[in-house]
Every structure is written in structure tokens, then in C-alpha cells.
Chain A
Amino acid sequence: MQETLKAFRIQSRVIGALLLREVITRYGRHNIGFMWLFAEPMLFTLGVTALWSLAGMHHNSPLPIVAFAVTGYSSVLLWRNMPGKLVCAIEPNLSLMYHRQVKIIDIFLSRLALEAVGATVSFIVLSALWVSLGLMKLPEDVLKVLFGWFMLAWFGASLAIFLGALSGRSELVDKLWHPASYILFPLSGAAYMVDWLPKAAQEAVLYLPMVHGVEILRDGYFGAVVKTHYDVTYMAAWCLGLTVLGLAQVRVVSRMVTPE
């Protein structure tokens, strides 16, 4: 117990130090510095909201376009950026592993924490902004929104750890992830509601775990205005499976790395 507590303290220390380091290397000290962590996803979401409004996507549904775009694109940023940041995260940090307390999982967790915080703050700030301007209403069920957000974060993090560890063994992962993430974007539920699709298509897209997360989020946000389709157990099973596989792969790769 004492040992575990000590290990936990060391690990939190290392992750904290890696976080600060990552923030400075990624955003620097110039202009708004670490605020880019939130500004970057906010700009993305703003751009997509503008495009979707102009494209008239809302003709399909009585849903307010701004709330639809913000919930959709924020969730994509949440689950898709995590794997993006962990694929090939090992190699540039090999020199840090000269210090025995710095492990691959620490590098992964610090990057995941940054992505999660960035996406979450941008989601909250953007929503607050639109609500205060009267372009968006407050969510119907905040707890359900939080739950959907948590599930998407869990999915993103577990997929990221799995792919991040695999990318330490083969470059193929990096090459395949980029096309895969582009193809998954339109399928992920960000730009449609499952209910709009024909029955056969509904069944097909519901095989994708992130679709369930986006549906939970929108169920919480819009309440009874929309009809949503999701299965929490199905999505949780995916996340749990990916978490176990991912952690196992991290163990394998940890034994294989050679610090430079």
C-alpha cells in the first residue's frame, strides 16, 4: 500500500512535469501562449459552424444549426485528436526515457490530459458564448451531456493508447490512421442524427462506437426534440476492450524501447 502510494506520487509528479513541458514546446511563450490549447479547437468549431450554416444543413431538421454544429464538431475533436497526438508520440520523447521514472504511459497520459482539457474548455466556452448571444439554448439534461462527453473521451483515450503503443512497433499505424480518421469523420455522427438515416443505414452506423457517444450527448442537449439511438453497454464494451488491449500493448512496447 505504502509502495503503491509512493509510485502514485512519482507518477503524478512526472505527468505534471510532462504536461508543463508539452504546453511550452507546443504553444511556446509568444502571443497568447498556452491559450492556444483552447483557441485552436475553438477556431475549428467556429469554422465548421459557419460552413454548416452556409451549406444549409439544418434544412433536414428542426434542430438549431449552431447547437448541432457545436455538439457535433466538439465531439469529433475530442475523440479524434487523442489518437492523432499519441500515434508516433514515443520517438520524439525517447531522450526523456533516460530518466527511469518517465514511462511511455506517462507521456501518453500527459498528452491525453492536454487534449481532453483543450477540447472540454473549448466546448464549454463556445457553448457559453452562443448561449449568451442567444444563438443556442442551455442543455436539457446537463448530466447526460457530461456522460456522453465522458464516454467519447474514454473512447478517444483508449483508442489513442492502443494505436499509440502499436505505432511504437510499426510505422504502418501512422500511415493508416490518417486516412482512417478522415473516413471516420463523416460516419462518426457529428454531421447527422442516426434517426435521419434509413433503417439499414442506422444499423450499420451503430456498429461504430463513437456514434453512440454523440447520440448520448445530443440526447442530453436537445432532450425530447430529437429521437436518439444508442446503446451505452455496446459503447462501454468497446472502450473497455480497447483500454485492456491498449495497456497490454504499452507493456509490450515499454520492454522494447531503447532510449537514444
Chain B
Amino acid sequence: MIEIHNLSKLYPLAGGYRTVLDNLNFTISPGEKIGILGRNGAGKSTLIRILSGAEQPTSGSVKRSMSLSWPLAFGGAFQGSLTGLDNLKFICRIYGMPYQDKIAYVQEFTELGKYLREPVKTYSSGMRARLAFAISMAIEFDCFLIDEIISVGDARFHAKCQHELFEKRAERSFIIVSHEAHNIREHCTKACVLHQGKLHEFSDVDTAYTWYQGVTA
């Protein structure tokens, strides 16, 4: 379970504050798949970062009683002078997992070959995306936070990601934020719309989408 109570986030702005998230309350149960729709700048990524614990809310609380991933973004933020393997080791170390038995999986998924032991700055953007995704899958979580589904890479990479995330890990929870409805329609059982700092919950994706179109048109 993840419980969000009276969560608000304000950012300082020249001459005042902007309320990005305004007193949100909701819960995520094990196995639940929630999609959050919102326009650019609606606060989707902020919400994901606060849920993950990477950023602190201005007020309110996030209670996590199941393990929650970091915000999976598929561009991947890597230190260019480190190798792909160094990055894998670092992530495994901070999560307290042995990395030795993850190498084969990452090697196979990323198809990086010898490049796994070369600095990330020599990678193409597709290689980076594959590495970022494979490292995200190396640590298991009960709930995955996904910020805008896979916008990089080719069709083959997309198919592999879909398989890893939504087929092999079908029993897990997901929170997916996106500005496009089809991603959410495909994978989520419940949808919300983040609009002007408020989170509006809907029982099914289509009602949410109709409402989203109404307010953003």
C-alpha cells in the first residue's frame, strides 16, 4: 500500500509561489495500475518524484508499505565517464543487491556486448536507453513509477520493454504518468487526471480521457 495524505507542493516563483500539487489524497494498493493524465507542466513528474521520495513535499505525507521504484525515465541519467557496468554496480550497491548475477541479464537485454565495459559517453542514445531500462529491471520492486512511457529506441526495443514490464511483472503495481491516453488505456485499470494542482479520480480510463479532453481543449 502507498498512502498519500494532504500532499501539497509549492515552488518559489519571482514574487510568490506556484502551487503545483494542491492537497492530494489517494492510495495505491498492491497490483493496482494507475494512469495519471496531465498536460505538460501539470505537475506529473513532480508528483512522481515526490512519490519516489526523491523530492520532499511542501506539506503532507507519503506512507510506503511496499517497495517503490525510482522514477523510471528512459533517457537515463548517467555519468559519462563511468562504464555501463559501473553504473549497474552503483545501483546494485545502493540497493544492497549483489551485482554479479545481474551482469548476464543486463548483457543480454542491452545487447551492448563489449560496450558494457566502455564509458557511457561513447554510447548512442539507443544504447543508453537500453542500459537505463535494463538497470531499472535489475532491482525488483512491488510498485513501479513510470514517467512517460518509452519515447526512445526502436520497435524491437519497445516490444522488449513491454514484455519485461507488463507481461513478466504483470502482478505488480504501476503508476504511469503521460500526456497521451493510449499508453494509459493499454496498461492501466484506473485513471486520474492531474489538472490545476488537483487530482481527479475516475473509475475507468475512458471517462477520465473524455474529461481530460474537455478541460484541456
- A residues sitting closer than 8 Å to B (CB atoms) are 9-10, 13-14, 16-17, 20-21, 24-25, 28, 95, 97-102, 254-255, 257-260
A28 to B70, CA, bound (A): 28
Check A98 against B94 for contact (C-beta < 8 Å).
no
CB distance from A16 to the nearest CB of B (A): 7
Which 9 pairs show the lowest CB-CB distances between chains A and B? A100-B53, A95-B77, A17-B93, A259-B54, A98-B70, A17-B94, A255-B56, A98-B54, A14-B94
Q: Which residues of B contact A (CB under 8 A)?
A: 49, 52-56, 70-71, 77-79, 81-82, 86, 89-91, 93-96
Greatest chain A CB density within 10 A among B54, B77, B78, B91 is at: B54
- With beta carbons under 8 angstroms apart, the residue of B55, B78, B81, B90 that contacts A259 is B55
Whether A13 pairs with B96 at a CB distance below 8 angstroms is yes
A17-B94, A24-B82 known; A100 and B52 CB under 8 Å?
A: yes
Expressed in whole angstroms, the Cα–Cα distance for A95 and B78 within the complex equals 8
CB contacts (< 8 Å) of B95 on chain A: these are: 99, 101
Within the complex, the shortest CB–CB distance from B42 to chain A, in Å, comes to 16
Q: How far is the CB of A114 from chain B (nearest CB, A)?
A: 16
Residues in A neighbouring B78, C-beta threshold 8 A: 95
Chain A residues with CB under 8 Å of B77's CB are 95, 98, 260
B70 cross-chain contacts in A, Cβ below 8 A: 98-100
Name the A residues within 8 Å of B82 (CB-CB). Answer: 21, 24-25
Contact partner of A21 among B52, B79, B96, CB < 8 A? B79
Roughly how many angstroms separate A254 CA and B79 CA in the complex, as a whole number? 22
Give chain A residues whose Cβ lies under 8 Å from the Cβ of B81.
24-25, 28
B54 near A100 with CB under 8 A, answer yes
Known: A17-B93, A99-B54. A259 touches B49 (CB 8 A): yes
What are the residues of chain B within 8 A of A9 when measuring CB–CB? Answer: 96
Instruction: Report chain B residues within 8 Å CB of A258.
Output: 49, 55
Residue of A nearest to B68 (CB): A100
Contacts of A17 in B (CB 8 A): 89-90, 93-94
For the A-B complex with A13-B94, A21-B79, A25-B79 known, give 8 more contacts whose Cβ atoms are closer than 8 Å: A21-B90, A25-B82, A97-B54, A98-B54, A98-B70, A258-B55, A259-B54, A260-B77
User: Complex: how many Å from CA A102 to CA B78?
Assistant: 15
Q: Which residues of B contact A98 (CB under 8 A)?
A: 49, 52, 54, 70-71, 77
Q: Contact at B96–A10, with CB atoms within 8 Å?
A: yes
Residue on A with the closest CB to B73? A98
A28-B81, A259-B49 known; A254 and B94 CB under 8 Å?
Answer: no
- B163 shortest CB reach to chain A, Å: 24
Kindly report which residue of chain B lies nearest to residue A17, judged by CB atoms: B93
Q: Which of A28, A99, A258 has the most CB of B within 10 A?
A: A99
CA distance A13 to B92 in the complex (A): 10
